[in-house]
Amino acid sequence: MGQLIRRNIPTILASLIGVGLLILAFASCNGPNPHVVEFSQQPTPQAAQHPGENPSYKVTFTIENQGRGDGQTKLVVKLVDKQSGHTVAEQQQLVELGDRETEEVDVTFPDVPQGEYTVSYELHYPPD
């Protein structure tokens, strides 16, 4: 039995090294782990300068990559009417995130009817 093990040590070591390399390759190809850490919503300043026109709204997101990988993530943002619960507008934007990087992203909704809105958002990695 001992002779059998000694004879197969190179094969066992090669297998262990191969498994270790596969684990390292997988860990380095994970891509980003994006999270929205903060967002704010406001009508844009030009809305007050043009009475009678529908204002636009700007939502600013702070997105943090809490992972070690990098890559693109898709941000989907919806402006939802508080009274009816209906989506009034939707925007999608690709965001490039590096390793442990934080990005500020502005999403503008042009020509939105007057009203009170909530913001709904999703992050998708990998982007569809």
DSSP assignments along the chain, one per residue: -HHHHHHHHHHHHHHHHHHHHHHHHHHHT----EEEEEEEEEE-THHHHSTTSPP-EEEEEEEEE-SS--EEEEEEEEEEETTT--EEEEEEEEEEE-TT-EEEEEEEE-SPPSS-EEEEEEEESS--
Determine the pLDDT at residue 26: 55
> In CATH, what number does 31-124 get?
2.60.40.10
Domain residue limits, the chain? 1-30, 31-124
Answer yes or no: pTM beyond 0.75: no
Predicted local distance difference test score (pLDDT) of residue 101: 95
Q: Report, as ranges of residue numbers, the positions in the chain whose pLDDT lies below 50.
A: 47
